[in-house]
Amino acid sequence: MEQDTMIGVDLAKSVFQLHGASMVGHVKFRKKLSRQQFRKFMTDHPPASVVMEACGSAHYWARELTHLGHEVKLIAPQYVRPFVKRQKNDVADAEAIVIAAQRPEMRFVEPKCEGQQARAVLFRARERLVHQRTELANALRAVLYEFGNIVPQGIRHLKRIDGMLEEPNSGLPILVREECRDLMAQIAEKTARIEAKTKKVKELAKQTDMARRLQTMPGVGPMTALAIEAFAPDMTSFRRGRDFSAWLGLVPRQHSSGGKERLGRVSKAGQTDIRQLLIIGAMSRLNWMGRRSIPEGSWLAEMLSRKPRMLVAIALANKMARAVWAMLTKNQDYRDPIYAKADVA
């Protein structure tokens, strides 16, 4: 059934602002509803095209309104901002959402299912614990530095700190030793929780065919596979691998004008978590152990011979993103490019 009404919803915790318009933009209604009133209004309203900004609770409401028979679209907030008229308020935001969504060239955000959001919660929880442990480790190193003890960065140096605290001639006051031991205990507690969540991530990565397929690519482990499952939309929403790479922010930023192409650094305008993990995976293939598997005369070997390693890692991450798109759209495991050529021959 074709909808004849588009409803822009400015989401909030308690009060929702609605802007209803025809498909050609004529205003039908403006409403300010509470959370309960909004649910009842959308239940009684005939099937319509509902548009919301991709913000907190947007994916939840997208699922709820889809069950009520509405067609739901999510739009990135930065695409709505140019259409806000003069003063910014809830009424203007809801109207701008409709105006932006009616642009034929507009791009929308794919709504996430409950499984994707649950995996994202686990990923974020582990990431938060890693940041907290790093903060504690830096605080511990700072305390020791104040008393003339310099410790390199990295969790692997905690044993060295432990030995320093046990040494009677380290020159540390008793109160400082007690505080440092308390920080060590907190770091140990964070480490145990990180390891438990890492174990859960690995178990989840074994449960889906998508995660298993992704891990056949060198440089992609359970963490990267889970991030792609949690944060990436359906790969069929991208026309080609380069579009997925651009969505991740792994393509150069353009400053082109007058027919002259000027390319800068990578845009970093996309999904941060997947991009970061792909670059880390690419770096693992370029370290002293990973280089042993790089064939002489290959594209990667040629790049390493004349470009900085970090630049090569970003270029390799770009290729890995394109390969991820190809693997998931074609339902195929990773194939080494060299063996792929041999198969064709």
Q: Which helix (H) or strand (E) holds 151?
A: none
pLDDT of 181 = 92
Give the three-class secondary structure for 19.
strand
Burial 294-331 (b: 16+ CB within 10 A, else e): eeeeeebeebbeeeeeeebbbbbbbbbbbbbbbbbeee
Mean residue pLDDT of the chain comes to 89
User: Angle 255-256-258 (CA atoms, 0-180°, nearest 5)?
Assistant: 145
pLDDT of 336 = 78
- pTM (2 decimals)? 0.84
Can you point out the beta strands (E) in the chain? 5-10, 15-22, 27-34, 49-53, 71-75, 252-254, 263-266
Q: Tokens for 175, please give them.
A: 């109160």
End-to-end CA distance of the chain: 51
pLDDT of 343 = 43
Q: CA 21 to CA 4: how far, in whole Å? A: 9
Q: CA 53 to CA 30: how far, in whole Å? A: 17
| Per-residue pLDDT of the chain in tens (345 residues, 90 and over written 9) | 467 899 999 999 999 999 999 988 899 999 999 999 999 999 999 999 999 999 889 999 999 999 999 999 999 999 999 999 888 999 999 999 999 999 999 999 999 999 999 999 999 999 999 999 999 999 999 998 988 888 888 888 888 888 888 887 777 888 999 999 999 999 999 999 999 999 999 999 988 899 999 999 999 999 999 999 999 999 998 999 999 999 999 988 887 888 787 877 887 778 899 999 999 999 988 887 667 777 777 788 888 888 888 889 999 999 999 999 999 999 999 987 754 443 443
Sort residue 149 into left (φ over 0), alpha (ψ -120 to 50) or beta: beta
Q: Tokens for 234, please give them.
A: 């359906």
pLDDT of 290 = 67
Identify whether the C-beta of residue 61 lies closer than 8 Å to the C-beta of residue 117: no
Percent of the residues in the chain that have a pLDDT greater than 90, as a whole number: 64
Q: CA 161 to CA 184: how far, in whole Å? A: 9
Tokens 């930023």 locate to: 253
Give the three-class secondary structure for 258.
coil
Sequence-distant (6+) residues with CB within 8 A of 201 are: 122, 123, 126, 222, 223, 226
Nearest Cα to Cα of residue 282 among 315, 249, 234: 315
Q: Tokens for 284, please give them.
A: 């693992």
**For residue 204, what are the CA distances in angstroms to 107, 114, 129, 229?**
31, 15, 19, 10
